[in-house]
Structure 1
Amino acid sequence: MIHRRHLLALLGSAASLTLSLAPGMAQQALDLSAAQATRPRAEPDEAAIKAIGKDAKFVKDGVFTVASASVRLPFAAFAEDNRTKIGVEIDFASLVADALGRRLEIVNVAWADWPLGVVSGKYDAVLSNVTVTEERKEKFDFSTYRQDLLGFYVKASNPIEIREPKDVAGLKVIVGSGTNQEQILLRWNEQNVKAGLKPVEPLYFDDDVVLYIALESGRADAYLGPNPTLGFQSTQGKTRLAGNFSGGWPLTAEIAVTTRKGAGLAEAITAALNGQIKNGNYGKVLARWNLASEAVPESRTNPPGLPRK
C-alpha cells in the first residue's frame, strides 16, 4: 500500500523520528506508537456540549465518528502497528471528542468518499485537511482550526526560489490532480503564458515513491503540495522548501472540521476548539507535529471560503 511505503520510507527501522525545526527551536521526537501516550487530552467542555443543536444526531450514542482520508504524516497515517491512525488530524479529532464528552472513533476512507459519507450521516465529521470553500458550504458546515499553507519543494541541491508566478515558468511541477494547488498552478501558468513566458508542465503521480524519485532525480523540478506533508518529508534532507504561500492564493484559506450542513454540530465543535485554544492544548498539538506556523487565533464557524471557480 502506498501510504505504508511512504511511512516506512520515513521511519526506516527507527521507533521514533526527530523533526528538524526552524533555527532556534529545539528538536522534538515524534511519537509514532499506537498508544500515543504523549497526545494531549481534554476534559469535557460543558459550554461546547450545551452548544450541540437540540436536533443533532450522532452516528452512535456516546461516540464522535470521524472520517479520515489522509494517508500522510503529519496529517494522518498508520502507526507502527499498521492499524491505528495517528497524526495532527487525529489529535484534533481526539480533543474535540473529549471536549464533547464522547469517545472518538476514526473511520479510514478514500478522499472521494468522505463528502457523501458526511452528507448521508455515515460520519459525524471529517478531519482531513479540508479547505473551506464557498462551493463546499452549500453542503457542509465548517469549524476552522488551521491555516492552509502550500509549499514548493525541490531537490536539496536545487538553488531555485519560487516566490511568484513567473518563477514557475518553464518548470516541470508535480501537483495533485483535482486539488486547490493544481488550480493555483494552472492560474499561474495562464498568467505566465499571457505574459509571453514559457508554460509550466504539470506532472501527476499516484505513487509517492515514484514521485520522490522523479523529484530527486531531476525529472521534476518542483513539487507543489500541502506544506505540512512536504515539510515532514524534507526532514530527511533530500528536499527543501523553495517557497510557500496561502492555499487560497491570493486569498487566505483555512482548514476546518467539516460536518453536514445544518447538522447542529458546527457551533459545538467551534466552541470545543476555542476552549482548547484557550487552555493551551491546541498549541501543544501543533507543536507536537511541527505545525505551529499554521495556528489560527480562534476557531470560526463558516467563515468566508475560497470563491467558486
Structure 2
Amino acid sequence: MIPRRTLLSLLVGALSTTSLAAFAQQAPFDLGPEQTGRIRAEKDPAAVARIPSNYAFAEPGVLTVGISPGGPPLATYATDAKTVIGADPDFALLIAGSLGLKLNLVPVAWADWPLGLASGKYDAVISNVGVTEQRKEKFDFSTYRQGLHGFFVKADSRIAGIREPKDAAGLTIAVGGGTNQERILVEWSKQNVAAGLKPIELQLFDDEAARLVSLRSGRSDVIVQPHAQLVFIAARDKDIRRIGTLSAGWPLKSDVAIATRKGSGLVDALTLATNNLIANGKYGQALARWGLEEEALPRSETNPPGLPKY
C-alpha cells in the first residue's frame, strides 16, 4: 500500500507545471517586470554620512545586493523570467535610494550567498536571512522584518485563532517534515500533554502542494509554514485565511536582516536608513504592497541577539 503522504505528493505533482503566464493571471500582486507601483526613497543624507569614507563598493555608485529568488512574495522572477521582483527587491531598492545609489540585484543560490558576500562579490545580502549567533561571527546585520511562520485554515473553518500552545491542543496540523516548524510544534504538543491537554497531531509532508491538499480536503485542520508563502497563497486562491503567527525562532525572537561583511562599516548606515524608512512610512508601504504588514518591525537593530547555536 502506498503511504497517504506519498500518494498525496504524487497526486499534486502536476499542480507545479502551471506556466508562469497563467500563474501571473491568478496572482494577487503585480508580477510584471515593469513594477510601476514600487515605492521609492529619496537620498537620506544622515544615512549617507554613516558610510565609511574608505568603504569600497563592489561597483562604484551602485549598491550590489545578493538575493535568492525562492518564490513570491519575498523574491521571485517576473513574467519575463529574468527580472527579480518581490518584497525583498523592493526593500533593497528603498535602501539603495536612501544611500543615493543605483541598485544591482544579483540572483544567487541560497547556499552560495555567504561565500559571495565574504568575497566582496556584493555589498549586502537582502534575502530573508535570519540573524543567528553563528552567522554573526562572519557577518553584520541590520534587521528589517520579523521572521514568522503562519497558522492558516480553510476560509470556512471555525477555528478562530492560535496564539499559544493550548490553542492548538487536539488539532491536526499539516507541516513540513524536518522543518523548524515541526520542531516547534513538537515542543508545543509536549507542553499541552504536560498541562493535561490533548496533544497536537502532526501530519508531515515533503511539499507545499501536499500540505494544501490535506488542508483543503479536511484531513488537516491547520497548515503551518513560512508566513509570507501562505499570505501569497491566501490572496491568490482566497480559500484559506490566517488565524495566527509564530516566531520562527520560538520561544525566541527571530528577525530577518540585511547581511554585510563583518567589520565593513556599512551596517550602521543600513540600520539608520531602515529606521528612517520606517519613520517616513515608505517601509510600511513597501511591505503592504506584498501583503506583509504583519511582519513589520517597529525599529531596525544592529546585530541584535540571534538564534543560538544548536
Residues 161-172 of structure 1: pairs in structure 2 closer than 5 A = 161-166=161-166, 167=168, 171-172=172-173
Q: Point out where structure 2 has 5 or more consecutive residues left out of the alignment.
A: 1-12
For 1:147 and 1:84, locate their aligned partners in 2 and report how far apart those are by CA, in whole Å. 25
Alignment of 1:125 onto 2:124: yes
AA matched with 1:282: Y
The residue that corresponds to 1:22 in the other structure is: none
- 1:285 CA drift (Å): 0.8
Q: Conserved in 1, the CA contact under 8 Å of 2:69 and 2:77?
A: no
CA distance 1:269–1:224, change in 2 (3 Å): same
- 1:41 CA drift (Å): 1.3
For 1:170 and 1:76, locate their aligned partners in 2 and report how far apart those are by CA, in whole Å. 32
- Local SS of the residue matching 2:97: helix
Bigger Cα Rg: 2
The residue that corresponds to 1:223 in the other structure is: 223
CA distance 1:301–1:195, change in 2 (3 Å): same
Q: Conserved in 2, the CA contact under 8 Å of 1:7 and 1:77?
A: no
CA distance 1:6–1:173, change in 2 (3 Å): farther
CA distance 1:219–1:260, change in 2 (3 Å): farther
* Deviation per residue, 1:66-104 (Å, 9 max, x gap): 222242222111222222111111110011111222221
The residue that corresponds to 2:7 in the other structure is: none
Q: Percent identity?
A: 48
CA distance 1:260–1:270, change in 2 (3 Å): same
The residue that corresponds to 1:26 in the other structure is: none
The residue that corresponds to 1:27 in the other structure is: none
The residue that corresponds to 2:304 in the other structure is: 303
CA RMSD, aligned part only? Answer: 3.1
* Deviation per residue, 1:116-157 (Å, 9 max, x gap): 322332332221222222232122211111222321123334
The residue that corresponds to 1:32 in the other structure is: 31
CA distance 1:130–1:3, change in 2 (3 Å): farther
- Local SS of the residue matching 1:262: coil
**Which structure 1 residue ranges, 4+ long, deviate > 6 Å from structure 2?**
1-4
- Local SS of the residue matching 1:136: helix
* Deviation per residue, 1:144-187 (Å, 9 max, x gap): 112223211233344345333342557342137454x3432343
For 2:117 and 2:205, locate their aligned partners in 1 and report how far apart those are by CA, in whole Å. 28
TM-score (norm: length of structure 1): 0.81
CA distance 1:253–1:89, change in 2 (3 Å): same
Q: Conserved in 1, the CA contact under 8 Å of 2:15 and 2:209?
A: no
The residue that corresponds to 1:203 in the other structure is: 204
Larger fraction in helix: 2
TM-score (norm: length of structure 2): 0.81
The residue that corresponds to 1:151 in the other structure is: 150
Q: Point out where structure 1 has 5 or more consecutive residues left out of the alignment.
A: 18-29
CA distance 1:31–1:220, change in 2 (3 Å): same
The residue that corresponds to 1:25 in the other structure is: none
CA distance 1:4–1:93, change in 2 (3 Å): farther
For 1:37 and 1:279, locate their aligned partners in 2 and report how far apart those are by CA, in whole Å. 20
- Local SS of the residue matching 2:130: coil
